[in-house]
């Protein structure tokens, strides 16, 4: 369970290096930090660490130097000393094999650096998909007063009069290019407009979803999730975050007081109402797990049935994050969701979610956050599936699916690995038609490894050219929160762990029955048992370093893909 910091020393006396003489440790520490020009007076102030996740590889975080300057100003104005420090930074398209493979490494880095260094509170500064969950996971375990500040979404671009942005439109235009509808020159022009400014992906992808979740669980100042990265308002928020962090240090307002089961339940509600990323469920499971809270998938499915999609953003709807911001962001959402949220949860402001909401500007006319009674999608963004292919669960983002395919039976076309998929998907010889079900396996937490966002299996080129734009696709992988289609994800246990997905053969009939929450292969138990008996055990691979730690301890999707040794015993399960 998280550390209890109330009796810990403060400021420079916290977390001393071990020399067997505490006063000498302070003496030595001060000697070194004075080399940076600090006076004794400055070093007697509360210390606010600022987690710096800037990296030349991470355009989603490129405004971090500016935000750090603003946050430092806020800390200094409130009488604290700000000290930025680096941790790992992960950007989605710059991480091999996948960003998810590294999320837990970053979470451990964050936890240990918060715990090892002297700080009375910490500002968690991140934004790209895996960085927000890793920061929250690490901070939850370290349990030092912590406040989240995200880098904010990028603005939308424009190509020949059409708005576009990363990364729903990356996939949409790439599909059109593969179908032969765009020339090399045109797709090059599109490429230059997809990320027209710094910041996180501008649709309701994982970064946007997790930013909303962090604000909804009370870990961010009100209104902080949606301010675009390039706006002055974001820098002002950074200054306010710095000021508030100093107060949180004095109040000893730790994450375990904020990230409660009720606050996590609010966050789950919000990701559903946002039409948010399926990845957010895995990440919230991991954050909750760090505090001994489990997420019951059946309960989450029930919650989905009561929580319509209210936000009209891609990939479920039409707009971009800047539109949601102008419409009032999470505040506008919470007003529509008033009957579903627990407003008595404590937040980083020191006030409750309801008190924060009461202090926000009154609502104004807008058409991005739809009324609860006239939602974008009434049936709930995501559905949790069971069935003989997913004994421990699977997920479908039904709001972003072709509705006519949500009940579908088709012939399996199986791809054994990502390499197999890449080698055959566009072959003219591939035996496939539009009614088939594309199956990808060995793409789960251990199989790929790192559970890549490969669940958005491309439509075979020959079908794309024939005008097919969606098919039922199933896998043990994840998919980008920016993706869309009739896609069953997170099948658990994964094939590499001997899950039933490993038993499917091309030609089997697969039945997707979303109404009854099932994904099944139409085989008898006897046939499944026969195939299991014939299943070959993979040759053991000799591993070392982080790779070994990852393979030995990573959990399946329903446990958040966290490392098993990072999860304390589960004492509470949500939603109730």
List of residues contacting ligand FES (CB under 6 A): 60, 91-92, 128-129, 166, 200-201, 205, 207
Question: DSSP 3-state assignment of 408?
Answer: strand
DSSP assignment letter at 125: E
Q: What's the Cα-to-Cα distance from 245 to each of 49, 84, 192, 248, rounded to whole Å? A: 9, 13, 38, 5
Least distance in angstroms from the C-beta of 479 to ligand FES = 13
- Closer to ligand FES at the Cβ: 83 or 311? 311
Continuous segment of H or E residues that includes residue 386? none
Least distance in angstroms from the C-beta of 259 to ligand FES = 22
Tabulate helix, strand, coil % of the chain (nearest 5).
40, 15, 45
Least distance in angstroms from the C-beta of 129 to ligand FES = 5
Least distance in angstroms from the C-beta of 112 to ligand FES = 24
Peptide bond into 248 cis (omega under 30): no
- Closer to ligand FES at the Cβ: 129 or 558? 129
CA distance 383 to 327: 27
Peptide bond into 241 cis (omega under 30): no
CA 408 to chain centre: 29
Phi, psi of 127 (to 5 degrees): 180, -45
Intra-chain end-to-end CA distance of the chain, in Å: 21
- Closer to ligand FES at the Cβ: 103 or 559? 103
Least distance in angstroms from the C-beta of 192 to ligand FES = 16
- Closer to ligand FES at the Cβ: 82 or 205? 205
Torsion of CA 441, 393, 94, 233, to 10 degrees: 160
Q: What is the DSSP string of 433-474?
A: -TTSEEEE-S-STTTTTS--S--SPPPPHHHHHTT----EEE
Burial category of 494 from C-beta neighbours within 10 Å (exposed 0-12, middle 13-18, buried 19 and up): buried
Least distance in angstroms from the C-beta of 442 to ligand FES = 25
Least distance in angstroms from the C-beta of 200 to ligand FES = 4
Provide the pairing of β-strand 293-295 with 572-574.
parallel
Residue matched to tokens 């059946």: 298
For 442, the token pair is 């060995």
276: β partners: none
Burial category of 290 from C-beta neighbours within 10 Å (exposed 0-12, middle 13-18, buried 19 and up): buried
Residues in the chain: 576
For 535, the token pair is 């299943």
- Cβ atoms 269, 281 nearer than 8 A: no
Least distance in angstroms from the C-beta of 201 to ligand FES = 3
For 484, the token pair is 């869309």
Range list of H helices, 8-162: 22-34, 40-43, 64-77, 99-116, 131-142
Question: DSSP 3-state assignment of 543?
Answer: coil
- Closer to ligand FES at the Cβ: 201 or 495? 201
Q: Which of 64, 83, 365 is nearest to 199 (CA)?
A: 64
CA distance 229 to 62: 9
Q: What's the Cα-to-Cα distance from 143 to each of 162, 328, 385, 530, rounded to whole Å? A: 46, 31, 34, 50
- Cβ atoms 280, 209 nearer than 8 A: yes
CA distance 380 to 210: 18
């Amino acid at each position: 369970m998280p550390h209890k910091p109330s009796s810990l020393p403060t400021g420079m006396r916290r977390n001393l290096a071990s020399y067997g003489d505490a006063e000498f440790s302070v003496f030595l520490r001060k000697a070194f930090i004075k080399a940076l020009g600090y006076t004794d007076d400055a070093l007697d102030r509360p210390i606010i660490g600022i987690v710096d996740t800037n990296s030349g590889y991470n355009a989603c975080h490129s405004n971090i130097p500016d935000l750090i300057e603003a946050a430092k100003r806020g800390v200094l104005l409130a009488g604290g000393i700000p000290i930025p420090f680096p941790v790992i930074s992960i950007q989605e398209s710059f991480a091999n094999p996948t960003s998810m493979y590294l999320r837990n490494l970053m979470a451990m880095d964050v936890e240990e650096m918060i715990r090892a260094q002297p700080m009375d509170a910490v500002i968690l500064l991140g934004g790209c998909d895996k960085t927000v969950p890793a920061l929250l996971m690490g901070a939850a375990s370290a349990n030092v007063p912590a406040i989240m500040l995200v880098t904010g979404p990028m603005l939308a671009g424009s190509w020949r009069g059409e708005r576009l942005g990363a990364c729903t439109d990356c996939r949409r235009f790439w599909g059109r290019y593969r179908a032969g509808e765009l020339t090399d020159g045109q797709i090059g022009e599109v490429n230059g407009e997809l990320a027209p400014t710094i910041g996180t992906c501008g649709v309701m992808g994982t970064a946007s979803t997790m930013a909303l979740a962090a604000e909804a669980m009370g870990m961010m100042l009100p209104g902080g999730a949606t301010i675009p990265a390039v706006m002055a308002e974001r820098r002002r928020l950074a200054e306010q975050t710095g000021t508030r962090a100093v107060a949180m240090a004095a109040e000893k307002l730790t994450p375990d007081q904020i990230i409660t089961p009720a606050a996590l339940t609010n966050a789950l509600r919000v990701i559903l109402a946002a039409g948010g990323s399926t990845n957010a469920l895995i990440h919230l499971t991991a954050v909750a797990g760090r505090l001994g809270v489990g997420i019951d998938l059946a309960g989450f499915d029930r919650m989905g049935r009561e929580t319509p999609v209210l936000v009209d953003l891609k990939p479920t709807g039409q707009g971009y994050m800047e539109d949601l911001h102008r419409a009032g962001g999470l505040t506008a959402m919470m007003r529509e969701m008033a009957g579903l949220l627990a407003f008595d949860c404590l937040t980083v402001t020191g006030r409750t979610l309801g008190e924060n909401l009461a202090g926000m500007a009154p609502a104004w006319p807008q058409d991005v956050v739809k009324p609860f009674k006239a939602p974008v999608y009434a049936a709930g963004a995501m559905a949790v599936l069971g069935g003989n292919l997913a004994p421990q669960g699977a997920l479908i983002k039904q709001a972003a699916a072709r509705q006519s395919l949500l009940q579908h039976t088709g012939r399996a076309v199986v791809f054994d690995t990502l390499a197999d998929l890449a080698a055959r998907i566009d072959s003219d010889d591939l035996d496939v038609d539009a009614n088939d079900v594309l199956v990808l396996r060995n793409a789960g937490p251990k199989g790929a490894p790192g559970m890549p966002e490969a669940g958005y299996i491309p439509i075979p080129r020959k079908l794309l050219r024939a005008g097919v734009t969606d098919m039922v696709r199933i896998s043990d992988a994840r998919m980008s929160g920016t993706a869309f289609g009739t896609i069953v994800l997170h099948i658990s246990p994964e094939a590499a762990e001997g899950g039933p997905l490993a038993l499917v053969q091309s030609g089997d009939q697969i039945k997707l029955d979303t109404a009854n929450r099932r994904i099944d292969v139409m085989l008898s138990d006897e046939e499944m048992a026969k195939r299991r008996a014939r299943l070959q055990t993979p040759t053991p691979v000799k591993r070392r370093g982080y790779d070994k730690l990852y393979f030995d301890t990573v959990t399946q999707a329903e446990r958040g893909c966290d490392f098993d040794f990072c999860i304390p015993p589960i004492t509470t399960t949500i939603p109730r």
